[in-house]
Structure 1
């Protein structure tokens, strides 16, 4: 079944669809739309070589993030795959570039297969299990990020600081602010009780939530699927936030808890 648009930061409003038509005109900018981390700072790909840029439907502005976990495997959000017109066939993965659209070098790979968690989109909690693994047609340019042990939770305890990465919007509601460069921001893991208060659908077994100390910062459209990194391991996969807008005060950012899916991810790594 469909998923509420309020949650998924890579499902764009009608205004953005109109913008996509405008992009076909000669005077239109080359990249426009989904969006980057609000706040934070730019960072070179060498500082996060496991980060992947995912292009949907051949459109530079329609994007998600991902994490290299093996030479030809990238973890991302399930809703990113669902947003592609033709599933895996509509996805391309760019690695090894700080500015994926403008830089040369690195690698551009086609996606030959996309595994989506079988329970994603199902009741009673269609937002849960928002995780996917992409298989590439060639090796990525970068280094795989370590996975946590299945069920490992101590490294994501409340109060722990994690680092997120993405190429999403830098200004809430303005699709023209999609980031050219990789951006990063630190967020603090919140107690499970606070996560549930922010969103009743929170499931502590499979989700994490975090927040930045200042308002109007966090991930936004185009960042979905990217990594939250703690202690050199994949801690979370960017999924949704608790507010109707990326810059809403007192918002919480929600991630799929990577350690809840380690065994499933490894199974996909072992599948050609």
Structure 2
């Protein structure tokens, strides 16, 4: 059986996989402060555990495996996790899960500004092979290494579904997932962050190699947002 790393901060069991959860952006560069104002830090007990992104002033999208028990909070308007000035910390009112997607309904609406804003999601299926995209997060810079206290980013390319399936076997669903490759990529602590193509979030960070962050022989896999559009619209429109 192939083992995987969910790109979450910490270790937890997952009902679908026989693996410990233990997989920042590696080989990336520091993002220009607040150049990705949709990014949020998902936190538990004041500690970063996952990435996420604002899809409206009241809803955040992230990965379902980031819900590890206990209440989560969202830190918006942050670039450097050690500096909390001008950031906004908001508690979560409700959790909605489907496959490995999770939508967090915030306790109050976020006041959007130049440092805190939303990112569009697809209005129809989209994820063309070999499209150039990017990822970002505050996870580890190398596996078991130091964390990225400032937001890091890297460029990646969407790969063909056949090679993704050949690599991941039955864990991979071409209808609900996509995989990417790049010189830089996701690591432990980056779960839930967006795969951004153009100005649209098309995927959510899911899992990667069991051996190395951004393993050149193992693609990083993302949940395909367009596969869940009816569910997303139902939640965000009815609340």
Specify whether residues 100 and 267 from structure 1 end up closer, same or farther in structure 2 by C-alpha distance, changes over 3 A only: farther
**Residue of structure 2 equivalent to 1:199:** 168
**Is the 1:72–1:135 Cα contact (8 Å) retained in structure 2?**
yes
Shift of 1:148: 0.4
Distance in 1 (alpha carbons) for counterparts of 2:234 and 2:81: 29
How many Å separate the matches in 2 of 1:71 and 1:13? 31
Of 36, 57, 62, the residue aligned with 1:76 is: 62
Q: Aligned partners of 2:220 and 2:211: how far apart in 1?
A: 12
Aligned residues: 224
1:18 is matched with which residue? none
Residue 52 of structure 2: aligned partner: 66
Secondary structure of residue in 2 paired with 1:266: helix
The residue number in structure 2 matching 1:145 is 119
Q: CA deviation at 1:96?
A: 0.8
Question: How far apart are 1:263 and its partner, in Å?
Answer: 2.0
Runs of 4+ off more than 2 Å: 4-7, 11-14, 138-141, 242-245
- State which of 103, 114, 124 in structure 1 corresponds to 2:95: 114
Match 1:160 to one of 115, 131, 147: 131
- Equivalent residue for 1:41? 29
For residue 47 of structure 1, report the CA deviation from its aligned partner: 1.1
The 3 A distance-change label for structure 1 pair 5 and 99 is farther
- Counterpart CA distance in 2 for 1:42 and 1:173 is 19
Corresponding residue for residue 21 of structure 1: none
- The residue aligned with 1:263 is 230
CA RMSD of superposed structures (Å): 2.0
Q: State the 1:13 CA deviation.
A: 5.0
The correspondence for 2:199, drawn from 232, 235, 246, is 232
Is 2:66 the partner of 1:97? no
SS in 1 for 2:166: helix
| Kept in 2: contact 1:198–1:242 (CA 8 A) | no
Report the Cα offset of residue 199 of structure 1. 0.5
Q: For the structure 1 residues 77 and 138, does the alpha-carbon distance in structure 2 shift closer, same or farther, using more than 3 Å as the test?
A: same
Which has more strand, going by share of residues? 2
d(CA) in 2 for partners of 1:65, 1:247: 17
> Quick one: distance in 1 between partners of 2:31 and 2:205?
18
SS at match of 1:148: coil
The CA deviation at 1:250 is 1.5
1:246 is aligned, of 205, 209, 213, to 213
| Higher helix fraction (1 or 2) | 1
For the Cα contact (< 8 Å) 2:23–2:210, is it kept in 1?
Answer: no
Give the alignment's TM-score, normalised by structure 1. Answer: 0.77
Aligned twin of 2:103 = 133
User: Is there any run of 5+ residues in structure 1 with no aligned partner, and where?
Assistant: 15-33, 118-128
TM-aligned CA deviation for residue 35 of structure 1? 8.0
